[in-house]
Amino acid sequence: MGELFQEAILVSILAGMIRIATPILFAAIGELVTQRAGIWNMGVEGTMLMGAFTAYFIATATGSVWLAVLAAMIAGALVGLIIAFMTVTMRVDHFITGLGINLLVAGLTLYWFRMYIKGRAQPTFDGFDNVAIPGLSAIPFIGEILFDQRLLTYMAFAAVPAVWYLLYRTRWGLELRCLGENPKALDIKGLSVSARQYAAVLFGSVMTGLGGGFLMLGFSDRFLADITAGRGWLAIVALIAGNWMPRGVLAAVLVFALLESVATHVQVLGIDVPHQIFLALPYLASILLLMGLRRQSRQPQRLGIPYFR
């Protein structure tokens, strides 16, 4: 194989990694805020799926991808509202709530999708184009990988330091982290635990909806029933594997994205093994990651425990 060809493939794999990382990163970095506030949201997959479907619906109905992105975020917020109501107000078990949300959204989106395409060919849309950053994208190798991406990809990566700043350098961040560690410490100062947890769930869900929207608009031109294919779950694994720290979460997301990117390049690479093995890699990796991780956890102390006064 020629050296040029090899470099081209490497660039393609790494650029693919950055793009594939985008939706998972949106979800993971959003849910980081939710989980640091003590809500163990297992409904990420469903929230993402709702974002993806909404984006598809609006993109095909209006032709505007940016309207579709906005709609995906609103859809995420609505799902988040249900999650927050169940976990914060009703204090239903967080795990069960998440499972219920996933099943509900899977059913709803499938139903709406079937209703929407009933009796006609599935409509498609034109997704995002790359936005090369002038100057930076001209840097050989690096530029092609990092600076010739979709606009939302830049935003997803910018969200990592932004959320770090929010969590560790602002009063809100201190309060959020306090919710995950000991919500009573806020309650006894007369601050509403519920309101803050609602806000944290909504933030995470909007980001996850956005991730779902990008998944739809950045990769594909049509909707599929299980389009998220476990990416919401990978976001949760990234949180655990990243030890609930922004940097670690980013690293874990990149690992998953790299594996998936490699899988999509298998045919180009001409490796003669069943392609299912490569498809399975991110899922296998997440189990192995979790197996190797015990006993160094900085999991928030009150994560997933409903707060009763």
Partner 1 sequence: MTTILRTVNLTKRFPGVIANEDVNFDLQKGEIHCLFGENGAGKSTLSSCLFGFYQPEGGSLELNGEPVKFRSPRDAIHAGIGMVHQHFVLVPDFTVLENIVVGTHEHGWQLGLDEARKRVASLCREYEIDLEPDALVRDLAVGQQQWVEILKALYLGAKVLILDEPSAVLTPEESIRLFRIISHMKELGLSIILISHKMVEVMQSDRVTVLRKGKVVGTVCPDEVTPKELTRMMVGRDIELRVVRDRSNKEAAKEPVLVVGGLSYRDTRDNLMLDQVTLTIGRGEILGLAGVSGNGQKELFEVLSGIIVPGSGNVTLAGERIEGLPSRHYMDRGVGLVPDDRFREGLIPEFGIQENMILGWQRHDDYTQGPFLNHKQIGTIAEGLIDEFRIKAPSADTPVNHLSGGNAQKVILAREFVHSNKLLLANQPTRGLDLGVIEYVYKQIIAKRDEGYAVLLASEELEDLLNLSDRIAVISGGRITGVVDPENTSIEEIGLLMAGERKEAAE
Partner 2 sequence: MTSIERDTPAPRPVTRIRIEPRVNRKPLWTFAMYLAATLFGLLLSALLVWTSGADVIKAFSALLNGAFGSQKAIIASLAKATPLILTGLATVVAFRAQVWSIGQEGQVYAGAMGAYTGYLLFAGLPPALFVSAIVLCGIIGGAVLGALAAILKDRFDVNEIISTVMMNYLIVFLLSWLIGGGPWTEVSTSVVYQQTGPIGEAAHLPALMGSGKLHLGFAFALVSALVCYVVLEKTPLGYEIRALGYNPVALAYRGTNIGRTIILVMILSGAVAGLAGVSEIFGTAHRLRSDTLFNLGYTGIIIGMIGGLRPLGTVAAGIVFGGLSSGALYMKLLAQVPASLVPAMEGILMLTFLCAGVAARYKIVRVKTDG
Binding-site member from 182, 220, 243, 264 for partner 1 (CB under 8 A): 182
Q: Which does 95 bind (CB under 5 to 8 A by kind): partner 2, partner 1, none?
A: partner 2
Question: Binding to partner 1 by residue 64, rule CB under 8 A?
Answer: no
Binding-site member from 9, 112, 131, 181 for partner 1 (CB under 8 A): 181
Question: Binding to partner 2 by residue 114, rule CB under 8 A?
Answer: yes
End-to-end CA distance of the chain: 66
Question: Binding to partner 2 by residue 255, rule CB under 8 A?
Answer: no
Q: How many CB atoms lie within 10 A of CB 245?
A: 16
Question: Binding to partner 2 by residue 42, rule CB under 8 A?
Answer: yes
Token pair listed for 87: 């976990």
User: Cβ(78)–Cβ(84) under 8 Å?
Assistant: no
Binding-site member from 91, 114, 169, 222 for partner 1 (CB under 8 A): 169
Question: Binding to partner 2 by residue 236, rule CB under 8 A?
Answer: yes
Pairwise CA distance, residues 45 & 232, whole Å: 4
Question: Binding to partner 1 by residue 221, rule CB under 8 A?
Answer: no
Question: Binding to partner 2 by residue 121, rule CB under 8 A?
Answer: no
With H, G, I as helix, E, B as strand and everything else as coil, classify residue 132.
strand
Question: Binding to partner 2 by residue 279, rule CB under 8 A?
Answer: yes
Strand partners, 132: 148
User: Cβ(207)–Cβ(41) under 8 Å?
Assistant: no
User: Cβ(45)–Cβ(102) under 8 Å?
Assistant: yes
Q: Return the number of the residue (259 or 303) whose C-beta is nearest partner 1.
A: 303
Amino acid at 74: I
With H, G, I as helix, E, B as strand and everything else as coil, classify residue 224.
coil
* Residue in the block written with tokens 């990243």: 242
Question: Binding to partner 2 by residue 233, rule CB under 8 A?
Answer: yes
Question: Binding to partner 2 by residue 287, rule CB under 8 A?
Answer: yes
Nearest-approach distance from CB 205 to partner 1, in angstroms = 22
User: Strand pairing of 148-149 and 131-132?
Assistant: antiparallel
Pairwise CA distance, residues 206 & 204, whole Å: 6
* Residue in the block written with tokens 């660039």: 11
Question: Binding to partner 1 by residue 301, rule CB under 8 A?
Answer: yes
Spell out, one character per residue from 213 to 232, where the chain touches partner 2: x when CB under 8 A holds, - when not: ----------------xx--
User: Cβ(201)–Cβ(80) under 8 Å?
Assistant: yes
Question: Binding to partner 1 by residue 243, rule CB under 8 A?
Answer: no
Strand partners, 149: 131
User: Cβ(84)–Cβ(193) under 8 Å?
Assistant: no
Nearest-approach distance from CB 143 to partner 2, in angstroms = 35
Nearest-approach distance from CB 237 to partner 2, in angstroms = 6
Site residues for partner 2 per CB under 8 A:
42, 82, 86, 89-92, 95-97, 99-101, 103-108, 110-115, 118, 229-230, 233, 236-237, 240, 274, 276-277, 279-280, 283-284, 286-287, 290-291, 294-295, 308-309
